[in-house]
Amino acid sequence: MTDKYGGKPRVKMMNDGSIVPTFDGLANVITGLGTDRDRRSYNRFSLSSFNNFNNYFEMEAAYLENWIARAVVDHPVEDATREWRRFTGGKAEAISDAEKRYELQEKTQEAFTWAGVYGGAGVLMMTDQDPAKPLERDKIKKGSLKNLVVLDRTLISPSTYNLNDPLKENYMRAESFRVNAGTQEIHHSHFVMASGAALPMRLRGMNAGWDDSILRRSLEDIKDSAAAKGGIASLIGEANIDVISRDNLGTDLSSGDMDEEITTRFLNFGMMKSLFRLALLDSKETYERKQISFGGLGEILAVLMEWTAGAARQPMTRLFGVQSKGLGDSGEGDSKNYYNRIRGEQESKYRKFFSPLDEVIIRSALGDLPDDVKFEFNPLALPTEAEVSDRNLAEAQTDELRIQQKVVPRSVVSKKLKEGGQYAIDDKFITQLEQDEQAERDGDFHFSLGEAETTVAGDVKVPPTAPAGGTE
C-alpha cells in the first residue's frame, strides 16, 4: 500500500483489529514537500566501491604530500602515546627497561599511524615458538622474545578467516596470516593488530578482516580545503588584470597572418610597462586595469577548515594550530573534549593492544608474570607549575586527614610517595615506620626524635602523630 502523494507507507493496528494506513514525516501536497515531487526525497548516501575504499596509493600520496592529512593521522597517535604510561609494583623499573629495549613506544606509534592510513597494521611478535601454531603466552621463558616487527596491511595478508565462531576474539577477522611473498603461515595470536576506524562486521568481513582508514573518512573534506586554498592562491596572481582594447583585433587574429605581430606588440608593451612603468599605446588602443575583489574568500576557507576539523574529530586549535575565535573563547572546552576522546581511546584501543604484548615482553624479560603488575597512562597534557602545586597540596591535606581518621597508617602514605618518585624515601625508612606502627598496636610506643609524649587522663602516655617522612 502506498500513498498517492508519494508518502512512506505505514500501518497500525486499531482496537477493533482493523489495519489503518498511516504516513510518517512532514508532507505538503501543494509545495511537494515530503512527496515524490520533493527533490530532497531522492538524496541517498551510497558506499564507495571497494576499489576506492582501499585506494592505498591515494592514501599514501595524501599522507606524504599534504600536511593536513598527516595531522589527521598523526595527532591522535602522538597525543595518546607521547606521555606514555607508568607501571607499578616491585618490578616496574625492570619492565620499563624491557619496553625501551624492544622500542615498544616507537613501534606502537608506528603501528597505529599506518593503521590510520591504511585501515590496518600490527606488530608481529618473533619468539622461539612455532609461528604456525597458537602462541602459548604462559610458556614464554626468559629471552623467548627475539624482536617486534611492525607490518601494515600492504605487507601482511590474511590466509584463513574465522567466519563461524563468534566465541573467539578474532571473529570476522583473520585466523592466520602470511607475509607477502612469503610461505610461512602465522597464527593470529603472534600478530597483535592495531585498530583503525571501526567498521560494521559485514563490511569488516568484506574488507579481509581489516578496519577502515581514518584518513579516508576525512579525505573529501581535506580535498575541499586544499582545493580552496589552492584556488585562492591562484587568484592572487590574477588580482590585477590589464585589459587593452584595439580596433579590428578579432579580424586580425582570424586572418592568421598577424598572430605573431600582435603577440610581439603586446609582449613588448608588458615588458616596457614592467621595466619603465610606462605604457605606450596607439591612439586607437585603450588601456584598463581590472581588479578582483577577495571579499568573502576568507570566510569560505574558514568554514571549510571547520568542516575538516569536524571530520578529523580534532579541535581547530589542534589540527590547524589557530586560536579559537569568539569573545571569551579560549578553546579550553574543545581541547578538553578532544583529550577526553583520546583518553577513551587509550582505555578501549591501546590497553587492548598492550595486553598480549605486555605479557610476552614481561615474561621474556623477567621469566614470569608478577601478580602485582599493572599500569596507568600518564596525563595527556603536562600540568603547569600552579596546577602541580595545587594538586600536591590537595593530596597532602587528604593524606593528613586520612591519617588522623586512622583510615590508613603513615607507612602506606610513605609508600605512595616513594612510588610517585617525588621524594627520596628508602625502604629502610618505610620498614622503620611499619615497626613503629606495629609497636603502637602492641602498646610498646616508639617516639620520633624531637617529639614529646602527650599526657591524657589517667597518666596514660600517648605518642603524637609524626608526619610522614619525618626524621627518626
CB 115 within 8 A of CB 121: yes
Show the domain range for 409.
385-462
Same-domain pairing of 72 and 187: yes
Per the prediction, the chain carries an average pLDDT of 83
Same-domain pairing of 390 and 455: yes
Q: Bridge-partner residues for 244, per DSSP?
A: 287
Inside any domain, residue 130: yes
Inside any domain, residue 264: no
Element (H, E) at 372: none
Sign, CA dihedral 147-153-155-160, equals positive
d(CA 224, CA 247): 43
CB 287 within 8 A of CB 242: yes
Identify the three-state secondary structure at position 136: coil
Same-domain pairing of 152 and 223: yes
Burial of residue 396 (CB within 10 Å: 0-12, 13-18, 19+) is middle
Please enumerate in sequence order all residues whose Cβ is within 8 A of that of 335, keeping only pairs 6 or more positions apart, or say none.
315, 317, 318
Same-domain pairing of 203 and 106: yes
Copy the grid coordinates of residue 326: 569568539
- In angstroms, the Cα distances linking 140 to 99, 126, 146, 168, 368 are 16, 12, 11, 22, 8
Report pLDDT digits (tens) over 301-344.
Answer: 989 999 999 999 999 999 998 876 655 556 677 888 999 999 99
The runs of H, that is alpha helices, within 346-456 are: 351-366, 385-404, 410-420, 427-442
Inside any domain, residue 469: no
Report pLDDT digits (tens) over 393-449.
Answer: 888 888 888 888 888 888 888 887 877 767 778 888 888 888 888 888 877 655 554
Same-domain pairing of 212 and 121: yes
6-10, 34-38, 117-121, 349-353: the lowest-pLDDT one? 6-10
Per-residue confidence (pLDDT) for residue 419, from 0 to 100:
73
- Under the banding of pLDDT at 50, 70 and 90, the label for residue 455 is very low
Copy the grid coordinates of residue 295: 571579499
Same-domain pairing of 372 and 229: yes
CB 207 within 8 A of CB 119: yes
Inside any domain, residue 320: no
Inside any domain, residue 270: no
Per-residue confidence (pLDDT) for residue 5, from 0 to 100:
44
For residue 42, the one-letter residue type is Y
Inside any domain, residue 285: no
Q: How many residues does the chain have?
A: 472
150/46: higher pLDDT: 150
d(CA 72, CA 320): 10
Same-domain pairing of 447 and 406: yes
Same-domain pairing of 152 and 31: no
- Short-list 48, 204, 176, 180, CA closest to 119: 204
d(CA 66, CA 59): 10
Neighbours of 7 (CB within 10 A): 20
298/145: higher pLDDT: 145
Q: Can you state the angle between helices 219-237 and 56-65, rounded to 10 degrees?
A: 50
- Under the banding of pLDDT at 50, 70 and 90, the label for residue 14 is low
**Percent of the chain, pLDDT > 70?**
82
* Beta strands per DSSP E along 145-239: 147-152, 156-162, 173-179, 185-187, 191-194
d(CA 431, CA 442): 17
Inside any domain, residue 360: yes
Same-domain pairing of 197 and 212: yes
Same-domain pairing of 96 and 225: yes
Residue that is last in its domain, among 338, 353, 382: 382
Same-domain pairing of 171 and 120: yes
Inside any domain, residue 68: yes
- Under the banding of pLDDT at 50, 70 and 90, the label for residue 471 is very low
- Short-list 91, 83, 162, CA closest to 358: 91
Mean pLDDT of 99-123: 97
From first CA to last CA, the distance across the chain in angstroms is 90
Report pLDDT digits (tens) over 64-110.
Answer: 999 999 999 999 999 999 999 999 888 999 999 999 999 999 999 99
Burial of residue 414 (CB within 10 Å: 0-12, 13-18, 19+) is buried
How many domains in the chain?
3
- Short-list 309, 303, 306, 301, CA closest to 75: 309
d(CA 297, CA 413): 60
Q: Which of 280-289, 406-415, 448-457 has the highest mean predicted lDDT (pLDDT)?
A: 406-415
Same-domain pairing of 71 and 24: no
44-58, 102-116, 355-369: the lowest-pLDDT one? 44-58
- Torsion angles phi and psi, residue 20, rounded to 5: -120, 130
CB 335 within 8 A of CB 358: no
The string of DSSP letters for 53-107 reads HT-HHHHHHHHHH-HHHHHHHHHHHHHHHSS-EEEESTTHHHHHHHHHHTTHHHH
Please tell me the pTM assigned to this model: 0.72
